[in-house]
Structure 1
Amino acid sequence: MRALHRSSLPQVEGRDMLTDSGLETTLIFLEGLDLPCFAAYPLLASAEGRARLRAYFRRHLAIAAEHGTGFLLEAPTWRASRDWGAQLGHGPEALARFNALAIALLCDLREEAGTVSPVVISGNIGPRGDGYRPDTAMTADEAQAYHAEQIGWFAATAADMVSAFTLSTVNEGAGVIRAAAEAGLPAAVSYTVETDGRLPDGTPLADAIEQTDMMTAGAAAYFMVNCAHPDHFRTALQTGAPWLKRIGGIRANASRMSHAELDAAEALDAGNPDELGRDYAGLRRLLPGLRVFGGCCGTDHRHVDAIAGCCLAHGTGSPAARRATACP
């Protein structure tokens, strides 16, 4: 399967795309792995680790095949940047190799994806600090300089785009977008919100998206929301305002726990997959540009299947369409 031209993302052009779920929580709580710093990228160093990652992504690709939709493959590199890598004993040269290995693994998965089309490969970026707390205050210039390193590693691979997840400040989002533009890669920025629908630094979601667009001349391909339950941000979306068109993806939690509660939790709260699917159907009605559907902490392939059944049913006789009759 040919790689996509970087200037053309099918989800921006109106194609519905599934993506994966809570990779790290699946590996930790469901598969019993120890992931220091919540980092999945070290698994790329071993054949066993790479096999686990392939199995995880294949489960999700199979759902896309059933529902007849495209798929957005996110690299397992959320923690594969300089500051987090240093905590795990990895310097820049090792991190560059890990990021390249991650994209190579996704390229292999794209080649074997069969009927799933299109398949987009994204270099996944996480926050410099704790995604639940704005504890690494940076200017937009500082954020650009920090994230430019990992984005540069992705630019040297077959990645089609970069996606930054669980960001908690506008400056970091703007820095990522600027760095991606310099590297010639489309970028999606995903903010996380607290139970009040505001970013962890107190910025309302609407202000965060509008300010980021102003600081970057609207250079982001689109925005997303991740790592929060729909109940936490649904009210912020019920405005009909123009900025809602900029939200192109949702990766929500199935759990209604706050970030503080999730941080302290010793057991997985997987919520209810069918309920989450119905929540997504409601979000789709509020967000005219919503095209990317996946999950975050506590979700797995069952949640993605339920979301697809409610939002992406194709054909009245398909299993997906029959399941969709239970969705509002």
Structure 2
Amino acid sequence: MPQFRNSLPQLTGRPFLTEGGVATTLKFRENIDLPDGARFPLLNSAEGRGALTRCFEPYLELARRYRVGLILDTPTWRANADWGAKLGYDADALAEVNRAAVGFVDALRRQHAEPDLPLVLNGVIGPRGDGYTAEATMSAEDAAAYHRPQIEVFQNSEADMVSAHTLTFVDEAIGIAMAARDAKMPLAISFTLETDGHLPSGQTLGSAIEETDAATGAYPAYYMIGCTHPLHFEPALTRDASWLARIRGVRANASTKSHADLDGASDLDSGDPQDLGHRYATLRGRLPNLNVLGGCCGTDHRHIEAICEACL
């Protein structure tokens, strides 16, 4: 039985960590090729699972050291129909690899379980598109139908929740929330932002959160900001706006570069971990419920440790 599905511990306000940019760590530090950014094929070999395990271990150690919780993400950001087809996975193979991904993080939880160290199993959903542009959109109903198979696999597993990462337009968020609601799966929605603080669709963050909540009866348990640097979205955090209370998590990039610049970069931009940590501390003063702290592109355990030092 899922351990926390009926009562997510991060909703109590206790600090929780996530991992940093595992994909960039694998690509630039482990020299592992990730076609189309997909990590789920690594689950098919002992070497791949070993590489994923090495990425998680520093974050488990940080959670122990600071006595906080940790959200264990499945490596399934690209494990949906369109991206899976590019890598030779049909619907049955995708269902199997999504199940295996939950099994992988469940094994980590069993291995590292300790009293007062909550480890939440999170089934990760990625966008149908690339996660950085909003050129190809779809209706909320189409998005619900598209993402429902992956959500239903997580529903029938040990996953405690699902989260949708790097969403670029609001209809996809609404559709995912509709499918998660049908499956009775707790959900976090994470929008990605451009250097102007807007979604790639051009919509403001506050408007996207309010529209998603209005269309779904505020079904998402919380929202997150991901795959952008705080420098880009700090001005969008208008004081006293009610939607700020719906943001519980931030997973920022290490670099201040745009998505286009990062996508074309041949070297890893690790930014300044200490500066990032201080920016998270500032964000905690702007976002009243911010307690899920992690990283995205270019971040690793050094950045998460700096965030812990500054915030905890």
Pair in the same fold by TM > 0.5: yes
Match runs of 1:35-184 below 5 Å:
35-115=34-114, 117-184=117-184
Gaps of 5+ in 2: none
Deviations 1:161-184 (A, max 9, x none): 001000000000011111111111
Distance in 2, matches of 1:177 and 1:16, equals 24
CA deviation profile, 1:108-131 (whole Å, cap 9, x unmatched) = 111122436111000001100111
Pair 1:250 & 2:250 matched: yes
Are the counterparts in 1 of residues 134 and 168 from structure 2 also a CA contact under 8 Å? yes
Q: Using the alignment, how far apart are the partners of 1:3 and 1:67 within structure 2?
A: 25
Instruction: Tell me the SS of whatever aligns to 2:10.
Output: coil
Q: CA deviation at 1:238?
A: 3.5
Per-residue Cα deviation, 1:187-238 (whole angstroms, up to 9, x for no partner) = 0000001011000010011101011100111000000000000000001113
1:204 matched residue in structure 2: 204
SS in 2 for 1:124: strand
Query: TM-score normalized by structure 1?
Result: 0.93
CA contact (8 A) 2:82 2:128 kept: yes
Q: Is the 8 A contact 1:229 1:255 kept in 2?
A: yes
Instruction: Specify the code of the residue in structure 1 equivalent to 2:26.
Output: L
Question: Structure 1: how far apart are the matches of 2:4 and 2:302?
Answer: 31
Q: Is the 8 A contact 2:2 2:157 kept in 1?
A: no
SS of 1:190's equivalent? strand
Tell me what 2:20 maps to: 21
Distance (Å, rounded) in 1 between the aligned partners of 2:164 and 2:121: 13
Contact 1:11 1:17 in 2 (8 A): yes
Q: Distance in 2 between matches of 1:70 and 1:5?
A: 12
Aligned-pair Cα RMSD in Å: 1.0
Is the deviation greater in 227-236 or in 54-63? Answer: 54-63
- Please give the alpha-carbon distance, in whole angstroms, between the structure 2 residues aligned to 1:298 and 1:162: 23
Partner of 1:222: 222
Residue 186 (structure 1) aligns with = 186
The equivalences for 1:262-277 within 5 A come to 262-277=262-277
Cα deviation 1:33-57 (Å, max 9, x = unaligned): 1000000000000011111111111
* Counterparts of 1:95 and 1:59, CA distance in 2: 28
Q: Residue 12 of structure 1 aligns to a residue in which SS?
A: helix
The alpha carbon displacement at 1:3 in A equals 4.2
Q: Which residue of 1 aligns with 2:303?
A: 303
Deviation at 1:135, TM superposition (A): 2.4
Instruction: Verify: 1:291 aligned to 2:291, yes or no.
Output: yes
Q: Which residue of 1 aligns with 2:33?
A: 34
Following superposition, the deviation at residue 29 of structure 1 comes to 0.7
| AA of the residue aligned to 2:176 | V
Shift of 1:89: 0.5
Are the equivalent residues in 1 in contact too, given 2:15–2:68 (CA < 8 A)?
yes
2: CA distance between counterparts of 1:82 and 1:306? Answer: 37
Distance 1:66 1:246 in 2: 28
Contact 1:240/1:286 (8 A) holds in 2: no
Q: TM-score, with normalisation over the residues of structure 2?
A: 0.98
Structure 1 position 74, deviation (Å)? 0.6
Q: Which residue of 2 aligns with 1:241?
A: 241
Contact 1:252 1:296 in 2 (8 A): yes
Letter in 2 for 1:87: K
Structure 2 CA distance, aligned partners of 1:157 and 1:163? Answer: 15
| Contact in 1 for aligned 2:105/2:121 (Cα 8 Å) | yes
SS of 2:166's partner is strand
**2:42 and 2:125 mapped to 1: Cα distance?**
17
Distance in 2, matches of 1:135 and 1:158, equals: 35
Aligned 8 A contact 2:78 2:125 in 1: yes
